Amino acid sequence: MSVFGHIARPHHGFAWVTGASEGIGRALVRELAARGWEVWATARSEDKLRILAEENPSQVFAAPGDVTDPEAMREIVARITETRPLALAVLNAGVYLPMRAQDFSAEKARKTFDVNLGGVANGLEPVLRHMIAEGKGHVALTASSAGFRGLPRAAAYSATKAGLIAMAEALAFDLIDLGVRISVINPGFVETEATGVNDFDMPMLMKPEEAAKSIADGLERGGFEIAFPWIFTRILRLIGRLPNQAYFWTVRKLTGWKDVQD
């Protein structure tokens, strides 16, 4: 066993994925099921979850719920762990509500914080209590490469994703001694309903199925960070190390940000 805890495998127990009704979450449920996992899928849309479960009736189970409701998350984890341990949890639910300084909205920011940070915290509480009591398990938080540094139109979104990265890092210090592995998932651009609102070029745009495969591969490797596509995320990290003035100039140039605003 590595210093970061054991790597979860299908025979260790159930997997749980939030934000599972569409996009990366839906694709990840399918990918994990294809790799032999019994997966519980959570989202607000019961209809979409039912369809997902019907595709894999013996391996995917619908557990509808709103991640912003802490009691609902506790009840789902209690339901999951009635018969088997929860071996893998991917807390993936999130929203992207783009806004610029000219139309900054505290309401949009609060909704982003409630789902992206609060929703993860609501799932983390019962997951960590269960896994720590078991002395094993693997929990992964879906952050984003947008959390490396602030990006245009992503004031609230970048803030939440940076917060998730820091949250995972902070928890790792304790979990190292408790047998529980924690990972942070930092995708680049993925073709989803959320990114469909972007009006700028998105380099190395991936399909949800490609992203799900990258995530599942990363979970099987067991590293702390799962970042992809690796060329894009590596370049973004390098740009992020630039001095502030050079960073702002470079990102504006690469995204055509001045042209977008004009």
Contact yes or no for 68/118 (Cβ under 8 A)? yes
Could you give the CA distance from residue 165 to residue 186 in angstroms, rounded to a whole number?
A: 9
**DSSP-derived pairing of the beta strands 180-187 and 86-91:** unpaired
Could you give the CA distance from residue 53 to residue 223 in angstroms, rounded to a whole number?
A: 29
Per residue, the 3-state secondary structure of 56-111, as one string, reads CCCCEEECCCCCCCHHHHHHHHHHHCCCCCEEEEEECCCCCCCECHHHCCHHHHHH
Token reading at 203: 């380099």
Active site residue 157: yes
User: Which is catalytic among the residues 40, 61, 148, 157?
Assistant: 157
CA-based nearest residue to 16, from 111, 85, 66: 85
Edge-to-edge strand list for the sheet holding 14-18: 60-62, 39-42, 14-18, 86-91, 137-142, 180-187, 225-228
Catalytic residues: 157
